[in-house]
């Protein structure tokens, strides 16, 4: 019995997580007693799924060997996601009919649609290497010249945080994550730039490289991802700044410029990165709620980000707008949206809500933590974000296992679902009588 490509992908990630957990559980990986296998498996899952949640301080607990293992898992997980996403998208495009490929076909049209799988993989790898290298050079130079790190240490810190940033992982080699750099524009903005680029997705980056600033040639996917990215980043910055401006535990002690920088930094992190330059646990519950929404949406498809993706959210928003207007078709940026995409977006969103709700209930049954903190943790895991209010190390094993499953589902679930909805489609030779129930 042959396995579906999405099943092979899932088994591959589970295999990589298991290998990583085994390596992290070795005595050579920890500075003290060996890490328990459940903690090692949780950390490996968080790295491979580029989440960033951790049950211990990796800067203190992991040895250099353990940190190299962690970095390798982040890189393999992030690169694997982009390669698999790109290949599956192209495979879908090639197998779809013209009428059924409006969205995905537009993502990979022109020479990209005719690329071989090898060419696609090479493009993705080259793109990853270029962006991570540029980020590593900037951070290394800054650490060496401003913070007076010796060159070897500066290079290691620069490479690690560049890789962690571009892959939207959120792991940092500082006990306070990146809170020490809350007012440092070079470190903060370099990390943010890498996160945003990695979160745009491979199709958007390649399209921007191919057509440049030519709005008439931009696809629907490109327009949605870019516009939603700007809207959510700006909206998130304003929301966090307003609610936390006078909070003595977060933005309160900073000067106005640093407050805006920190608010923007945290807004970027909700796009599924997971770094923090201020204390997330000290934020107002209302701020957590807004960040819940941003983490749930995530960033662009076929990239290193998680969540339901901005394209899914935008499609749902346009469906609602179309219904309110009474229009017959959903039109986005001058193009009509395929009805098949309506069903896919609704299915992905409802399944995501189910996973989050079910996991929150399970967490409530195994912990005594307040519901607002649990919801934040659950959505952070599902969206592969990695932000936490500080409760992760205190969670019991059943709760950690719940988050492990949720991280895997959040990383591969929507993609696997979307692929299955398209590739496994077999047209029926009959139709049932049409009827409408009463709604609303």
Structure pTM? 0.87
| H/E segment holding residue 336 | strand 335-336
In percent, the amount of the chain with pLDDT more than 90 equals: 62
**Using 50, 70 and 90 to split pLDDT, how confident is the model at 99?**
very low
Chain centre distance of CA 93: 23
> How many CA atoms within 13 Å lie on the side-chain side of 415?
29
CA dihedral 135, 137, 143, 148 (to 10 degrees): 180
Q: Which two tokens stand for residue 206?
A: 């390649």
Q: pLDDT class for 106, splitting at 50, 70, 90?
A: very low
User: Phi and psi (nearest 5°) for 224?
Assistant: -65, -50
Task: Tell me the pLDDT band of 187, cut-offs 50, 70 and 90.
Answer: very high
User: Residue 110: what pLDDT?
Assistant: 39
Confidence of residue 288 (pLDDT cuts 50, 70, 90): very high
Which band of pLDDT confidence, cut at 50, 70 and 90, is reported for residue 112? very low
In this model, does residue 439 exceed pLDDT 70?
yes
Mean pLDDT of 97-124: 50
pLDDT of residue 150: 96
pLDDT band at 36 (very low <50, low <70, confident <90, very high): very high
Decide: 375 and 368 in contact? Cβ < 8 Å.
no
Confidence of residue 166 (pLDDT cuts 50, 70, 90): very high
Per-residue pLDDT band at 119 (split at 50, 70, 90) = confident
Dist. CA 171–CA 159, nearest whole Å: 12
Q: Is the pLDDT of residue 186 over 80?
A: yes
The answer to whether the CB of 237 falls within 8 A of the CB of 165 is no
**pLDDT-based confidence at 201, cuts 50/70/90?**
confident
H or E element: which one contains 331? strand 331-332
**Average pLDDT of span 168-184:** 94
Task: List, in sequence order, every beta strand (DSSP E) within 41-120.
Answer: none
CB 410 within 8 A of CB 10: no
Hunting for tokens 């609303």 — which residue is that?
440
pLDDT value at position 422?
53
In which band, very low, low, confident or very high, does the pLDDT at 429 lie, cut at 50, 70 and 90?
A: confident
Position with higher pLDDT, 71 vs 82: 71
Contact 25/37 with Cβ under 8 angstroms?
Answer: yes
Query: Residue 386: left (phi > 0), alpha (psi -120 to 50), or beta?
Result: left
Which of 347, 351, 400 minimizes the C-alpha distance to 378? 400
**DSSP letter at 245?**
T
pLDDT at 434: 78
pLDDT at 421: 44
For the ranges 249-258, 336-345, 415-424, which has the lowest average pLDDT?
415-424
Q: Which of 23, 80, 88, 11 is nearest to 48 (CA)?
A: 80
Band (84; pLDDT cuts 50, 70, 90): low
For the segment 89-103, the average pLDDT, to the nearest whole number, is: 45
- Confidence band for 417, pLDDT divided at 50, 70 and 90: low
Q: Predicted confidence band at 303 (pLDDT cuts at 50, 70, 90)?
A: confident
Torsion, Cα of 157, 158, 163, 166 (10° steps): 130
Cross-strand bridge partners of residue 332: 335
DSSP at 101: -
- Structure confidence at residue 81 (pLDDT): 59
Q: Answer whether residue 233 shows pLDDT above 90.
A: yes
Q: Specify the long-range contacts of residues 178-184, CB closer than 8 Å, at least 24 apart.
A: 178/275, 178/276, 178/277, 179/276, 179/277, 179/278, 179/279, 181/277, 182/254, 182/258, 182/261, 182/262, 182/265, 182/277, 182/278, 183/254, 183/255, 183/257, 183/258, 183/261, 183/262
- Return the minimum-mean-pLDDT range out of 178-187, 254-263, 340-349: 340-349
């Amino acid at each position: 019995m042959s396995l579906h490509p999405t099943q092979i992908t899932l088994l591959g990630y589970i295999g990589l997580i298991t290998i990583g957990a085994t390596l992290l559980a070795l005595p050579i990986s920890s500075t003290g007693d060996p890490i328990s296998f459940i903690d090692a498996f949780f950390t490996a899952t968080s790295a491979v799924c580029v989440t960033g949640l951790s049950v211990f301080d990796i800067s203190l607990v992991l040895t250099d060997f353990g940190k190299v293992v962690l970095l390798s898992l982040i890189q393999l997980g992030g690169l694997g996601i982009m390669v698999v996403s790109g290949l599956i998208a192209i495979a879908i495009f090639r197998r779809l009919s013209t009428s059924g490929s409006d969205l995905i076909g537009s993502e990979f049209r022109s020479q990209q649609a005719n690329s071989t799988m090898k060419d696609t993989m090479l493009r993705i790898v080259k793109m990853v290497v270029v962006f991570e290298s540029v980020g590593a050079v900037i951070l290394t130079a800054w650490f060496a010249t401003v913070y007076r790190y010796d060159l070897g240490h500066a290079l290691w810190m620069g490479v690690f945080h560049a890789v962690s940033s571009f892959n939207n992982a959120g792991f940092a080699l500082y006990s306070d994550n990146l809170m020490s750099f809350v007012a440092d524009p070079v470190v903060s903005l370099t990390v943010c730039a890498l996160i945003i680029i990695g979160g745009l997705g491979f199709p958007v980056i390649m399209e921007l490289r191919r057509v440049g600033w030519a709005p008439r040639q931009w696809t629907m996917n490109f327009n949605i991802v870019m516009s939603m990215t700007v809207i959510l980043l700006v909206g998130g910055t304003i929301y966090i700044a307003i609610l936390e401006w006078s909070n003595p535990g977060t933005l309160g002690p900073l000067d106005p410029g640093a407050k805006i920088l920190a608010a923007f930094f945290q807004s970027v992190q909700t796009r599924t990165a997971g770094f923090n330059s201020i204390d997330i646990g000290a934020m107002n519950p209302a701020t957590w709620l807004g960040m819940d929404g941003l983490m749930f949406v995530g960033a662009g498809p076929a990239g290193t980000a998680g969540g339901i993706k901005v394209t899914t959210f935008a499609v749902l928003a346009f469906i609602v707008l179309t219904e309110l207007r009474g229009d017959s078709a959903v039109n986005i940026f001058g193009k009509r949206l395929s009805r098949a995409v309506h069903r896919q977006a609704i299915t992905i969103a409802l399944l995501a809500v189910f996973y989050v709700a079910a996991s929150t209930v399970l967490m409530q049954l195994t912990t005594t933590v307040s519901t607002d903190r649990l919801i934040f943790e659950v959505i952070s895991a599902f969206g592969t974000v990695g932000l936490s209010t500080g409760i992760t190390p205190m969670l019991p094993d059943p709760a950690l296992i719940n988050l492990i499953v949720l991280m895997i589902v959040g990383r591969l679930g929507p993609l696997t679902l979307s692929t299955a909805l398209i590739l496994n489609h077999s047209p029926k030779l009959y139709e049932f009588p049409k009827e409408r129930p009463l709604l609303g």
